[in-house]
Chain A
Amino acid sequence: MNAERTGGLFWLLFGCAAIYGGLDLELGTMQQPGSGFLTFVAGSFVTCMASLIIIQSYRADPAVAVRIADLWKGKKWKRAVAITILIALFILSFETLGFFLCSLALLIIIMRWLEGLSWTLCLLVPSIAIGTTYVVFKFFMKISLPAGMFGF
């Protein structure tokens, strides 16, 4: 699939959704613009620009067109996916398991499992980072971090 065209299509749909949202919020009048006025204008603008991108993708030389698969060719994209999943899991469990457990697990998993660093580094660096962060937020900035179900 052509990368430019796909990107353009995505933003075209986004722009159309914004136009619909703007109409739904009410445009008001030119004398008294409503809540949806700028949304409608910005949505229409995004739709026009996205259409231009799609048209340009058809007019471009097919020999130099970039396919979606080319964007990830030769890249270790699975690592990016793994990091995204790990962040999502961190967020899901952050308030339940608490700051210490979640942070330690996240850092150790990335450093040991994903990056293959030595156990010494994997334990030392996160311990210092988590300890320092806790002290800065808890004692200097007086901001509470979630204790979680285990109370720490």
Chain B
Amino acid sequence: MDFADNLFTGLAVAFQPHNLLFCFIGVLIGTLIGVLPGLGPVGAMSILLPVTFGISPVTAIIMLSGIYYGAQYGGSTTSILVGIPGEAASVVTMLDGHQMALKGRAGPALGIAAFGSFIAGTLGIIGLMLLAPPLAAVALRFGPPEYFALMIMGLIILTYLAQKSMVKSLMMAGVGILIGMVGLDTMTGMPRFTFDVPDLIDGVGIAPLAMGLFGVSEILLNVEQTIKQSVVVKQVKNLLPSKQDWKDSAMPIARGSIAGFFLGILPGGGAVLASFISYGIEKRMSKHPETFGHGAIAGVAGPESANNAAAQAAFIPLLTLGVPANAVMGILLGALLIHGITPGPMMIQKNPELFWGTVTSMYVGNLMLLVLNLPLIGLWVRLLKVQYAVLFPLILFIALIGAYVINGSEMDLYLMLFFGVIGYLMRKFDYEPAPLILAFVLTNILEDSLRQSLIISGGSMSIFVTRPIAAGFLFVSLVLLITAVMPSIRKKRSALAATADENA
């Protein structure tokens, strides 16, 4: 099948009425959770994972993907109007977007954020369509050693780019692997760490783990503090940016799209990093860097484009290699596995409807988001006035019922509560949950590829350095680990973490 055939296959899937409906539900929920502070896309996707059990895999992935990229759009609304990031990738948008709102230019800020997101999102999808099939073809040559090395590299990059301590992030990845060990050994059938509890034979589910670590822990942290939301703008007018706004934003959108796309592909990269880097690039390239932080429209256009391009590009490693680039993709991987689909190089050939249907649905989703974000801005402004005291009990209730209905088991509820408390304590003590969840979903593939590699090589670890691709991945990992302990890099990482903390 050539590109045009694939595109038509995808469009035929994406335009099926039920897929359109679930795409709309996904982007609507995504925008909602992006707009409302307190619950990120990872938490929302894990809470809604059980809802997808009654629908087909392609519809489920279309909806879950919609939540992810929808949240990138919605997050900017809260950042601009309230001055609180709706979700992590919108932290940078807040710096200039909120200043624009304070100066009476909320409309153009929201407008350029939506248009920039749409343009970058669309460019990201085109990149995804062009790059994914050849990458999958290359990945077909991967054997167990290459997969093992690739996953190690992914985990190292993720921890390298972590905002907090790299040692802690690496350790969390180790903890994630250990939690992933619970259940039957896939090669020997031996139960591990089940403590004679029958419900643990299948292992710890991705849903209770993610809901606990991201959903429940977030609620526990939020109820400890008073969340004050004051919308500075009651009515938003003139959403269409002026000619000058477009002139000032055209290049930032282009640069943000390109930077975001390539950073999104990197395992461990993603929307947050892309938005920070785009902001840095724009400030450095601007003729008036002193205007940044005081309402420069380029400071909104660049990062917003970057985070949306990155959100689309993050699908590439998942769909072509079966390796999730970030925690959100980890949840998607979990969802695919629950539906009996193993993402990887064979997926494009074996399940073309799922791959091309998901990708083309993103075009449709991006269009829906443009409609949701511009004409419905008044609705989002009103929603921002809903008290957290009303919202969080509902989020908690949906999470509890969602965790229960997966297997109809109380054990999943206990696990969710347990990991909720663990996640709360982890965040208190500055441990990031993202490496844990990513390592958890990779454990099975990681263990199988390690054991298969050792069996193939007769127990020699040299198999990882004598095969060029595997050696290349491990070399990159080693370089990252070495540079991370270099004093100059450590200083820069600490400074970045401090900036992120100040802005968050």
Chain A residues in the interface with B (C-beta under 8 A): 3-4, 6-7, 11, 14-15, 18, 21, 25, 29-39, 42-43, 45-46, 49-50, 52-53, 56, 71-72, 75-77, 79-80, 83-84, 87-88, 90-91, 94-95, 99, 103, 106-107, 110-111, 114-117, 121, 125-126, 129-130, 133, 136-137, 140-145
Contacts and interface: CB of A to CB of B under 8 A. Distances in A.
Contact of A38 (B389, B404, B420, B447): B447
B192 A83 contact: no
Interface string B431-470: 1000000000001001100110011001111000000000
Contacts of B178: 14, 18, 39, 42-43, 46
A18 B182 CA distance: 11
Contacts of A76: 223-226
Interface residues of B, number: 63
B54 A87 contact: no
B224 A77 contact: yes
Contacts of B404: 94, 145
A116 B414 CA distance: 28
Contacts of B428: 71-72
A75 B174 contact: no
A104 B34 CA distance: 27
Interface string B171-188: 100110110010001011
B401 A103 contact: yes
Given A45-B174, A111-B389, A53 B168 contact: yes
A46 B167 contact: no
B443 to A, nearest CB: 8
Given A3-B429, A53-B168, A75-B224, A42 B51 contact: no
A7 B181 contact: no
Nearest to B221: A80
17 contacts: A7-B429, A11-B171, A11-B175, A15-B174, A31-B458, A32-B454, A35-B185, A38-B181, A42-B177, A42-B178, A76-B224, A80-B221, A87-B420, A90-B400, A99-B401, A107-B394, A137-B401
A36 B408 CA distance: 31
B8 interface: no
B379 interface: no
Contacts of B397: 103, 106-107, 126, 129-130, 133
A137 B406 CA distance: 11
Contacts of A3: 429
Chain B CB within 10 A, most for which of A18, A25, A42, A136: A42
A49 B414 contact: no
Contact of B220 (A14, A49, A83, A88): A83
B181 A39 contact: yes
A87 B403 CA distance: 13
B167 A29 contact: no
Interface of B: 51, 53-54, 165, 167-168, 170-171, 174-175, 177-178, 181, 185, 187-188, 190, 192-193, 216, 219-221, 223-226, 387, 389-390, 392-394, 396-398, 400-401, 404-405, 408, 410, 413-414, 417, 420-421, 424, 428-431, 443, 446-447, 450-451, 454-455, 458-461
A35 B192 contact: yes
A29 B459 contact: yes
A98 to B, nearest CB: 12
A83 B429 contact: no
Contact of A110 (B396, B398, B417, B430): B396
A130 B187 CA distance: 43
A133 B398 contact: yes
Nearest to A11: B171
Given A84-B417, A91-B414, A94-B410, A21 B193 contact: yes
A107 B316 CA distance: 41
A39 B393 CA distance: 38
Contacts of B424: 80
B390 A145 contact: no
Nearest to A95: B410
A5 B85 CA distance: 32
B220 A80 contact: yes
B429 A107 contact: no
Given A42-B181, A75-B225, 7 more contacts: A25-B190, A30-B454, A30-B459, A43-B178, A53-B165, A87-B396, A125-B390
Given A7-B429, A76-B225, A133-B401, A42 B174 contact: yes
B175 A141 contact: no
A87 B454 contact: no
A3 B389 CA distance: 30
Nearest to B216: A87
A14 B54 CA distance: 38
B171 A50 contact: yes
Contacts of A18: 178
Contact of A111 (B223, B390, B460): B390
A143 B405 contact: yes
A88 B396 CA distance: 12
A94 B174 contact: no
Nearest to B186: A35
A124 B393 CA distance: 13
Contacts of A83: 219-220, 223, 396
A84 B460 CA distance: 49
Contacts of B450: 33, 37-38
A56 B226 CA distance: 33
A129 B167 CA distance: 43
A145 B413 contact: no
Contacts of B389: 111, 115-117
A32 B455 contact: yes
